[in-house]
Amino acid sequence: MANAIVVGAGVIGLATAWELSRRGWSVTICDPAPASQATRAAAGMLAPAAEVVWGQDALYPLMRDSAERYPEFVARIEARTGRPTGYLRNETLVVGLDSADRQTLDELAAQQTRFGMRAERINALQARRLEPALGRGVVGGVHLREDHQIDPRTLTSTLLEHLGERVRRARVVSLLEEGGTTVGVVLADGSRLRAEQIVLATGLAALPETAHLPLRPVYGDVARLRLADPARPLVDRTVRALVRGRPCYVVPRADGSLVLGATSREDARSGVSAEGIHQLLEDGRRVVPGILEADLEETMARARPGTPDDLPVVGRLDAGAVVSTGYFRHGILLAPLAAAVAADLVEGRGIDHDIQQAVDPGRFAGAPAATHHRSPRGSHA
Ligand SMILES: Cc1cc2nc3c(=O)[nH]c(=O)nc-3n(C[C@H](O)[C@H](O)[C@H](O)COP(=O)(O)OP(=O)(O)OC[C@H]3O[C@@H](n4cnc5c(N)ncnc54)[C@H](O)[C@@H]3O)c2cc1C
């Protein structure tokens, strides 16, 4: 049986390991702290429509492709493991709090429609009919029926449980190379593992061999809230909002908890920002006032692995190694596509030309690492 090592057990590494083992590969996954980084913080919005923003035409087809793969991806995992993935096909509302927000949402809805998504503009009354808990300041918005969600913690714990002893809790410090080809990895304790193919899915963390990739941390603060009576959820849909141009969202989980997110900071502070959480609660309460009745269960900050053009970095490093990282705000959504593309590369199969062009690691050759990229307005996750 062919064997592979996947370095990194975030959503990307785990989905890739799952896909490879489904295709008959013997897979070892190395990570000292599986699913502890960006994946742990993520809200899990699967939002190909709401995440459409100007100037990201190459990203949109990837988001739509991956969203279409989701039902089969989770059905296979649930059938094979007998465990849940936390996938919910509930809808999304995007609402605005003043006329400028409303105008931005109208323009985005036009863009979403141009890309073939169902984006229905709704007024304040229609929005409140759908979600009676919306705040009085909501002036209207957009109803997106095809943007769903998954709980990344449920998904990754199911995959980790399934992969079991194939997960080695160890840090990879470098790659083993012979004659210019990667043939294995070196672990922090000095031991060496060999395999025919290595997939590097370490998110933001670079190995010496990937240090040239222009990844940058975009921190996000996020809060988890719990209502006293989980049988009576505040909202049935994910509610995303622009509050005076600032994005925020409330994602209702099946267990009655809520995810309130997220800030977007490039200030190199890895701790939870008090100002960030204050801003989320302040904006969130204007969108769904009832959140202030919930218990504040957890606050967290993690870095999204950003790239200069907001597109992932997936491709061959050499005949023995494939890199798959840079999923920025969309790694949960893009996981099924990422897994399929990395597995195709591992197996030496061709991948779709447009996808290959969009994610090619070579596109940054000679370009300076991005340090001052501005996040596009209207982007939330
Ligand atoms: C606040 C927030 C909200 C988000 N919301 C959404 C959302 O709603 N929808 C969406 O699609 N995306 C969302 N994202 C983005 C998403 O979380 C990321 O794109 C995705 O989790 C990236 O996954 P990853 O596996 O590449 O990286 P990570 O989750 O960061 O995993 C990388 C793994 O590699 C391991 N690792 C690192 N170095 C080594 C090494 N040397 N050896 C072994 N292992 C190593 C780490 O321990 C870690 O487990 C959000 C992100 C944040 C921060």
| DSSP codes joined into one string, 332-349 | HHHHHHHHHHHHHHHTT-
- Annotate 79-110 with three-state secondary structure: HHHCCCCCEECCCEEEEECCHHHHHHHHHHHH
Mean pLDDT, residues 100-129: 91
Say if residue 121 is in the same domain as residue 259.
yes
Residue 52 tokens, joined: 């459409």
Measured between alpha carbons, how far is 281 from 290 in angstroms, rounded to an integer? 11
Angle at 20 between CA 353 and CA 153, to 5 degrees: 100
Ligand 1: which residue has its CA nearest to atom 39?
A: 202
Task: For 342, list phi and psi in degrees, rounded to 5.
Answer: -65, -40
Say if residue 258 is in the same domain as residue 300.
yes
Give the domain-ending residue among 289, 306, 323: 306
Task: For 201, list phi and psi in degrees, rounded to 5.
Answer: -130, 60
Q: What's the longest Cα–Cα distance across the chain?
A: 67
Q: List, for residues 120-141, the tens digit of each pLDDT value.
A: 999 999 999 999 999 999 999 9
Task: For 299, list phi and psi in degrees, rounded to 5.
Answer: -120, 150
Which of 6, 151, 207, 330 is the best mutation target for the ligand 1 pocket, counting ligand atoms within 8 Å of the beta carbon and taking the most?
Answer: 330
Cα dihedral value 205, 208, 213, 215, nearest 10: 20
pTM of the model: 0.96
Specify the CATH number for the domain of residue 268: 3.30.9.10
- What mean pLDDT, rounded, does the chain reach? 93
Give the domain-ending residue among 306, 333, 360: 306
Say if residue 176 is in the same domain as residue 139.
no
Instruction: Flag whether pLDDT at 300 surpasses 80.
Output: yes
Say if residue 26 is in the same domain as residue 135.
no
* Spatial contact of 311 and 213, defined as CB atoms under 8 Å apart: no
> What pLDDT band is residue 367 in, cutting at 50, 70 and 90?
low
Say if residue 127 is in the same domain as residue 188.
no
Give the domain-ending residue among 306, 323, 344: 306
Q: List, for residues 274-287, the tens digit of each pLDDT value.
A: 999 999 999 999 99
Tell me the CA–centroid distance for residue 226 and ligand 1, in Å.
24
Q: Residue 362: which domain range?
A: 1-88+148-214+308-381
pLDDT at residue 52, as a whole number: 82
Say if residue 71 is in the same domain as residue 194.
yes
Pocket of ligand 1 (CB under 6 A): 7-13, 30-31, 33-39, 41-45, 171-172, 201-203, 205, 207, 220, 222, 261-262, 302, 304-305, 325, 327-333, 381
Tell me the CA–centroid distance for residue 37 and ligand 1, in Å.
5
Report how many domains make up the chain. Answer: 2
CA atoms in the 13 A half-sphere facing the CB of 200: 33
Specify the CATH number for the domain of residue 15: 3.50.50.60
Say if residue 81 is in the same domain as residue 165.
yes
Measured between alpha carbons, how far is 302 from 376 in angstroms, rounded to an integer? 19
Say if residue 302 is in the same domain as residue 181.
no
State what percent of residues in the chain have pLDDT above 90.
82
